[in-house]
């Protein structure tokens, strides 16, 4: 269930935005504890969905999706996947740099 565009094209104001961001961050952190790095997969991948449903992340998913506009949820989810991938690449590089230095 997502919160779609508010009445008459009115965008969320500061308080609503900040609530959305807070719940988003809580949900993403929770997913990370399950090693789920692609929030979109929670809807598309049956195994991942089952995993998340059994955990406390499922409630956080609803809270996040209710607090944020649908277009924002899609955007944040995509960006999250990108951020994690970039972080993984940076970590891998650090490790390989470390190895080549100690040789």
Partner 1 sequence: MTGSALYLYFKHEKAKLIEKRKEELENKSAGKPQVGGPFELIDHNGRVVTDKNFLGQFLLVYFGFTHCPDICPEELDKMSEVTENINSDTKLGKIMTPIFISCDPHRDTYEVVREYLKDFHKDMVGLTGTYEQIAIVAKSYRVYFSRPPKVNPGDEYLVDHSIFFYLMDPNGQFVDAYGKSTTADSVTDSVKGHIKNFIDKGGVIKKLDG
Among 33, 71, 86, 96, binds partner 1 (CB under 8 A): 71
Task: Give how far Cα 17 sits from Cα of 28, 30, 80, Å.
Answer: 16, 20, 17
Task: Tell me the angle at which helices 57-67 and 14-33 cross, rounded to the nearest 10 degrees.
Answer: 160
CA–centroid distance for 23 within its chain: 10
Part of the chain binding partner 1 (CB under 8 A), chosen from 27-35, 42-50, 69-77, 85-93: 69-77
Binding mask 29-68 for partner 1 (x = CB under 8 A): ----------------------------------------
The yes or no reply on residue 10 touching partner 1 (CB under 8 A) is: yes
């Amino acid at each position: 269930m997502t919160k779609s565009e508010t009445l008459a094209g009115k965008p969320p104001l500061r308080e609503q935005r900040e609530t959305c961001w807070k719940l988003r961050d809580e949900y993403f952190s929770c997913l990370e504890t399950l090693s789920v790095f692609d929030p979109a997969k929670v809807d598309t991948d049956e195994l991942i969905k089952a995993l998340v449903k059994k955990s406390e992340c499922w409630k956080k998913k609803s809270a996040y999706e209710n607090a944020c506009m649908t277009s924002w949820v899609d955007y944040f989810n995509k960006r999250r996947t990108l951020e994690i991938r970039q972080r993984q690449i940076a970590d891998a590089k650090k490790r390989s740099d470390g190895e080549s230095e100690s040789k």
